[in-house]
Structure 1
Amino acid sequence: MIKRTLLAASMLALTLTGNAWAADRPLRVGYVFAMANAPALIADKQGFYKQEGLEVDLRALGDGPVIQQALAAGELDVAYVGTPPVYQWYTRGLKSTILAKVNYGQAAVIVGKQSPVQTLVDLKDKKLAGVKKGSGMDVLLRGYVLKENANLNPDKDVNIIDMPPGNMNAALDKGIVDAAFTWEPFVSQALLRGNSRVLLDINQALPQYPWYVVIGLPKTLQERPDDVVKLLRAHRKAVDFLNQHPEESNRIIAEAFKLEAVQGADGKTINPVDIVAQARTRLGWSTELRAKDIEFIERLMNYSTDLGFMNGKPAIADLVDTSYLEKASR
């Protein structure tokens, strides 16, 4: 009995020591390095994390799969990532909780200015630049853009060519593809050069649809709930700053993402800040996860299931928890 008591006490001490160590180290936050995730870097550069008394180790990462690996390896506590990967990872064992919205908009289908393609239906038998099959943007392309809007079979009716978004505009210019499904700032860069036009603006079709979200691991929520609330307060401040100070935030974004000037059709140089301003006509930021946002997440899950990208789907109540965001507003 004495040995068992001592063992239990030792285990409790180790647990308390572990939790104390976790609380002492910076909150490790990863974000996909995309303009839509600007609130993460704004919170850092404007000192909003420090205002909340929170030390953050902020890491800009290349894409969702890299974020997934870091989360699975226990190298991150919180992440800014696209919605589809979150629920797809959940069904594969990497459970996390959606805590807040980050952005809406950003994606569009573009074609050459003189292209004969006038509607989505015209994409039948055409070459369309997209991203990796099964990725979040691919779910939106196949499920919403092609199947739902154009009644096209994405595997049979359209030749989707996987390529980095940074290469899509050049591929479109050179006639390698007939259209591209891309996002900001690549959409704005193409339009400002004057050689492309928008075939479908997703944010016009689905006003303020949620895309990037803030997620936390169960361990993080259990061990550091107060820090999660502080993070979300800083996130709120960053979104407010983006919306209330567009010119200043546009300069920060242009510099942080190292945007280069483009030459317009009239030969004039269009500076990076103006590219960001153009991007904001299709992209915006918000923290709230409202009923319509939850419905859209469920809609995305249905797309992923129908496309065969996952078996079954988690209950939305297991996937989303807005209570931390609510505490952050008090």
Structure 2
Amino acid sequence: MRAGTRFERTAVTRRILRSLAVTAAATAALALGLAGCAAQPADSDGEAAASGEAIRMGTQPWLGYGQWYVAEDQGFFTDRGVDVALSSFNADADVNAALAANRLDMANVGAQAALQFIEQGLDVSIVLMLDSATEADAILSGPGVSEVTDLAGKKVAFERGATSEILLAEALDAAGMSFDDVEVVEASADKVAPMLLAGRVDAGVTYEPYVSEALGADAGVSALVTAGEFPGLITDVLVVRNEVLDERPDEVREVLGAWDDAVTFTADHTAEAREIIATGVGSDVADLETAFDGVHYYSLAENRELLTGTYLTETLPALITVSERIGLLEAPVDAKTAVRAEFLGE
């Protein structure tokens, strides 16, 4: 999907993004103090993060967030005089819980997760559109499952409350089926491929780099459905605590500038950037070639056009409406209050 695409209702439904388990994650964080959820920083900046000197950013091993690895590797944060401590989480619920428990200043999440944060009173704003994807999320199937209708009565693994659940719901609905027709096996995205390869489930929903790892295992696994069959499915955003936006605005601008530097670097030095990103997500770049081709990274120029344009006036309101209809949002959220675009520059 390219910038400026107008989404139909079904496409907007599919834009329910990678992190929908916000309520459960926030509850767990508050109840457990994030016990067991804390991730290790990507480098030795953990002490700085703890002291508040660094901007604490939560991410996941997902290609769409890969420009942060490029920015770190190429010294773009340092060049811009901003200290960023990257912390990587394997499960959606964990990064959501870390933000809810004030262990992060900003996080890479799905738009629906951001809206749920706001609905539940977490004082954050969307400041940047990061990426959209088509081929990097997929329903994988083992032998004997060649069509979605073959999933009837079969064990299907996926992460509840995440985009994986939405992709599966959309695929089942298109086939005239529902979750009642399959045996649900709850598993985080990083656990799905091993379960499928071990024969513990018949199908599973995950994203890159796990998709490529499963397809490359020569174990009869195939991609039953990809996000490319549902245009507009994956779009991720950066959310930042409003207190950070108010107290450290210049640093936030430089963080976004470093993202833009990385996007430009990737366009000019694609092979090198992909190597960096592949290393960041823990995979082999050769295994991710197709996946990279299915990810679009948004520049600041595109953000300046969209984040205060059609994304704000059409996409987010439509997403809010759909989310209310299917019960993901219990109360209305004003799209105009969810976005702060003053950090994008001119």
TM-score between the two structures when normalised by the length of structure 1? 0.76
Q: Aligned-pair distance for 1:232?
A: 0.8
Q: Aligned-pair distance for 1:136?
A: 4.4
What pairs with 1:41-120 in structure 2 (closer than 5 Å)? 41-105=69-133, 106-112=136-142, 114-118=143-147, 120=148
CA distance 1:298–1:127, change in 2 (3 Å): farther
1:172 equivalent in structure 2: 196
Q: Look up the equivalent residue of 2:226 and give its one-letter code.
A: D
The answer as to whether partners of 1:140 and 1:300 remain within 8 angstroms in 2 is no
Q: Aligned-pair distance for 1:204?
A: 4.4
Deviations 1:83-132 (A, max 9, x none): 222112222111311111212212111223x43432x344333322111x
The gaps in structure 2 that reach 5 residues or longer are 1-51
2:230 equivalent in structure 1: 205
Partners of 2:257 and 2:208 lie apart in 1 by 26
Establish whether residue 282 from structure 1 lines up as the match of residue 294 from structure 2: yes
Establish whether residue 35 from structure 1 lines up as the match of residue 56 from structure 2: no
The answer as to whether partners of 1:127 and 1:178 remain within 8 angstroms in 2 is yes
Q: Aligned-pair distance for 1:185?
A: 1.0
Q: Aligned-pair distance for 1:299?
A: 4.8
Establish whether residue 319 from structure 1 lines up as the match of residue 338 from structure 2: yes
Which secondary structure does the structure 2 equivalent of 1:323 belong to? coil
| Runs of 4+ off more than 6 Å | none
Q: Which has the larger radius of gyration?
A: 1
Deviations 1:136-195 (A, max 9, x none): 4434433x3333x334322x2222211133332333334432221111011112223342
2:328 equivalent in structure 1: 309
Aligned length: 285
CA distance 1:150–1:299, change in 2 (3 Å): farther
2:22 equivalent in structure 1: none
- Alignment RMSD (CA, Å): 2.6
The answer as to whether partners of 2:227 and 2:234 remain within 8 angstroms in 1 is no
CA distance 1:188–1:98, change in 2 (3 Å): same
The answer as to whether partners of 1:232 and 1:324 remain within 8 angstroms in 2 is yes
Deviations 1:193-252 (A, max 9, x none): 342222222134315x54321111111121122221111111111122233322112221
Q: Look up the equivalent residue of 2:262 and give its one-letter code.
A: A
1:8 equivalent in structure 2: none
The answer as to whether partners of 2:64 and 2:131 remain within 8 angstroms in 1 is yes
Q: 2:171 aligns with which of 138, 142, 145?
A: 145
Deviations 1:268-309 (A, max 9, x none): xxxx12012232133332244535655454454445434433
CA distance 1:107–1:127, change in 2 (3 Å): same
CA distance 1:65–1:181, change in 2 (3 Å): closer
2:213 equivalent in structure 1: 189
The gaps in structure 1 that reach 5 residues or longer are 1-23, 260-271
Q: Look up the equivalent residue of 1:146 and give its one-letter code.
A: L
What pairs with 1:150-299 in structure 2 (closer than 5 Å)? 150-154=175-179, 156-194=180-218, 195-207=220-232, 209-259=233-283, 272-287=284-299, 288-289=302-303, 290=306, 293-294=311-312, 295-299=314-318
TM-score between the two structures when normalised by the length of structure 2? 0.73
